[in-house]
A and B are shown apart, each in its own frame.
Chain A
Amino acid sequence: MEKDTWHLLSQYTHARIAMGRAGTSLPTHEILRFKMAHSLAKDAIQSEVDTSALTEALHAMEIHTIAVKSQVTDRNDYLRHPNKGRVLDLRSKKDIEASPRNKTDLCIIVADGLSANAVNLHVIPLLKSLLPQIKDLTLSPVVIAKYSRVALSDAIGELLNARMALILIGERPGLSSPNSMGAYLTYQPATGNTDEKRNCVSNIHPEGLGYEAAAAKLSYLLHQMLIRQISGVHLKDDHRDTHLI
């Protein structure tokens, strides 16, 4: 096996460089390291939202919760039919309709997306940073959604009479970030909204955009949305990226 003489370049990137060669192929330990990273991503996709743990933690923070599901029947169906993941199943719709639906500023939705592990890990710490910054906003119960796509937040926010929807959702896992969470914000959630009406804060995890920085950005965007009564491409994210400094 031949080692590469330019390892010092590895300090500048976490890309897989200077890995050496066995003949022209990758050395054994690099092949196995790659496979382990891939297996973490594959397992993340199959992971499930730990609804009971999340509910318990949210109740301890004195937050009401509702558990719902989209029209998707299983993980395979979820991957094949994105549209079904954007619509509530009948029972979930009834459950929401039976809950208090007085007009609020914000409804927060916790969704599995493509990595339930991500929300299992990051939702509670993020909310602990975020909630103190949005005390001035009235909140609907937090909705925990299974087999959910981003647009399910429109259906939920609409039913709950919330002026804004914030969905925290597991992002498509990459090899270097299998448990990354995204946040999508919509002013006046309504079925049929398209992506240009949303603002997105992505890459939320301790090695990416940390909880404090993400919470500050979300709080900024939520308050801007209320003042300007818009969201999406016309609402620029002018908040200073302190995490990058």
Chain B
Amino acid sequence: MYKHTVNHTVFVFTSLAELMAKASPLRSGDQLAGLSAHSYQERVAAQMALADLSLRTFIEEPLIPYETDEVTRLIFDTHDAENFQRISHLTVGDFRNYLLENSTQKAALTAIQKAITPEMAAAVSKIMNIQDLILVSSKCEVVTRFRNTIGLKGHLSTRLQPNHPTDDMKGILASVVDGIYNGSGDAVIGINPATDNVATQIRLLNMLEDVRVRCLLPTQSCVLSHITNTILAIEQGAPVDLVFQSIGGTEKTNSSFGINLALIKEGYEAALSLGRGSIGNNVMYFETGQGSSLSANAHHGIDQQTLEARAYAVARAFDPLLVNTVVGFIGPEYLFDSKQIIRAGLEDHFCGKIMGLPMGCDVCYTNHAEADQDDMDILLTLLGTAGCNFIMGVPGADDIMLNYQSTSFHDALYARQLLGLRPAPEFEEWLLKMGIMNPQLQIVHSDASQKLMKMITS
């Protein structure tokens, strides 16, 4: 039991899960689950009680029992006890101060990545303001490699997302060309297929492979199918660069996605065995998002932000190239409006980064949420300052297959220009060579750039 007294009023929290949930900034999903604080005071009292808690509490008291949940087992079995010595004496409140200290820089943050459990990351995020989340994230650097280098400080990459409602090859290719001409696609060229069909997946993979080989494009491709389909595609000899999967923070959530840790490992090993990465072996692409566990009726009375951080423990076990929090896709019953979406995006990026993950964000919303493109501009700009590894590049920010709005190729150009951020170095070199971009990072359409069009259309 946890207590906090403010002006003679005693606030009581019967469990660690309840304390975490009530300390969580307001979320419609937590309200829907009946977990959120009943008043503003109760929320801050919970945050005060949480701030006084030793980080060791999270090692002593699992939120979901070790015996019943394989994600809990993963968290405990892979905890870096040695480096935890550096922070084990701290309370959650002290930990926030420590992260913000001028003397705490990249090396110190990198050293404790695996000593930070998801629950510790979530707890400290709950008592941090938006500027804290941004400042600490910006001190982290998580670099991953496959055919290029993603996540270096001062760089912002994009996933080119060329979806089409009927998986029409020419339609997808048209969006790919438009994206490349706008300097997009260095994180990955990744298609969400409209159909759940291995044959289509293989056709799409072959098409992307053809473009990459013809143009000597220093990037990787992915078709975002269920991992079992991708494993079948690998068995059938398809050119699979990255293995994709949506993941959640509890065993039950993952089982609702039709996966478990053993299956992810199978996909991971299958991709590694292909040895297709030219400069690195980060072969996994994971997507997450607050609210997925409640949606799957698998939340165990734990708030959605804490469960999201637990999903990062799953991702961390497989050295991913990219982890993408698809923050506003889930809808208003989980993240009601732009205020909730913006804060959630920054929390996810922060929690992932301090846990050592290559975090990107699908800055996005659905039309039934209280948000619009102005709100996406705000979140995009903040994530740019926070050092986000990658964002989405969707033609005109309008995904015509998934029916939601994300960020456009133009949005990425805006962020790069405003904040002086560059594409992945290998990709930048290629864009310069092709005459698509000039050394000032401006998009130019020189005669040289027409070469690409000829290569693709021939």
Contact = CB atoms under 8 A, between A and B. Distances in A.
Contacts of B372: 38
A130 to B, nearest CB: 23
- Of A12, A25, A177, the most chain B CB neighbours within 10 A belong to A12
Interface stretch (B102-110, B134-142, B272-280, B402-410): B402-410
B178 A9 contact: yes
B178 A6 contact: yes
A38 B174 CA distance: 23
A180 to B, nearest CB: 8
B85 interface: no
Nearest to A180: B403
A10 interface: yes
Given A12-B168, A24-B417, A176 B367 contact: no
B323 to A, nearest CB: 26
Interface string B401-444: 00111001010011011000000000000000000000000110
A80 B396 contact: no
Contacts of B181: 4, 6
A75 to B, nearest CB: 10
A34 B443 contact: no
Interface in A185-227: 203
Contacts of B172: 13
B311 to A, nearest CB: 22
A230 interface: no
Contacts of A10: 174
A172 B68 CA distance: 37
A177 B400 CA distance: 9
Contacts of A42: 367
B171 A172 contact: no
B161 to A, nearest CB: 10
A9 B174 contact: yes
Contact of A80 (B28, B174, B416): B28
A197 B329 CA distance: 25
A175 B405 contact: yes
Contacts of A5: 445, 450
Interface in A130-151: none
Given A24-B413, A34-B373, A15 B400 contact: yes
Interface string B28-57: 100110000000000000000000000000
Interface string B67-92: 00000000000000000000000000
Given A9-B177, A25-B410, A79-B368, A15 B164 contact: yes
Contacts of A35: 373
Nearest to B336: A80
Nearest to B28: A80
B151 to A, nearest CB: 23
Nearest to A203: B165
A175 to B, nearest CB: 5
Contact of A16 (B163, B166, B398, B450): B398
Contacts of B404: 174
B333 A4 contact: no
A176 B171 contact: no
- Of A2, A4, A26, A41, the most chain B CB neighbours within 10 A belong to A26
A67 interface: no
Contacts of A6: 177-178, 181, 453
Given A6-B181, A38-B373, A13 B367 contact: no
Given A24-B442, A34-B373, A38-B405, A175 B178 contact: no
A79 B368 CA distance: 8
A45 B177 contact: no
B397 interface: yes
Nearest to B441: A24
B396 A34 contact: yes
B352 interface: no
Given A15-B398, A26-B410, A176-B398, A80 B31 contact: yes
A81 interface: yes
Contacts of B384: none
A41 B396 contact: no
B328 interface: no
Contacts of B366: 172
B395 interface: yes
A25 B416 CA distance: 12
- Of A13, A23, A44, the most chain B CB neighbours within 10 A belong to A13
- Of A16, A26, A203, the most chain B CB neighbours within 10 A belong to A16
Interface string B153-189: 0000000001111101011111101100100000000
A244 B186 CA distance: 34
A232 interface: no
A16 B396 contact: yes
A37 B398 contact: yes
A90 interface: no
B175 A15 contact: yes
B395 to A, nearest CB: 4
B28 A13 contact: no
B345 interface: no
Interface in A52-79: 79
A215 B398 CA distance: 29
Contacts of B171: 12-13, 15
Q: Which 4 A-B pairs have the closest CB atoms?
A: A16-B396, A174-B403, A13-B171, A17-B178
Interface of A: 2, 4-6, 9-10, 12-19, 21, 23-26, 30, 34-35, 37-38, 41-42, 44-45, 79-82, 114, 172-177, 203, 244
20 contacts: A9-B178, A12-B170, A12-B171, A12-B173, A13-B168, A13-B170, A13-B395, A14-B400, A15-B174, A15-B396, A16-B395, A17-B396, A18-B178, A19-B396, A24-B410, A24-B413, A37-B398, A38-B372, A172-B367, A175-B403
Given A6-B177, A15-B164, 10 more contacts: A10-B174, A13-B395, A15-B178, A17-B174, A17-B396, A21-B413, A35-B373, A80-B32, A114-B368, A176-B400
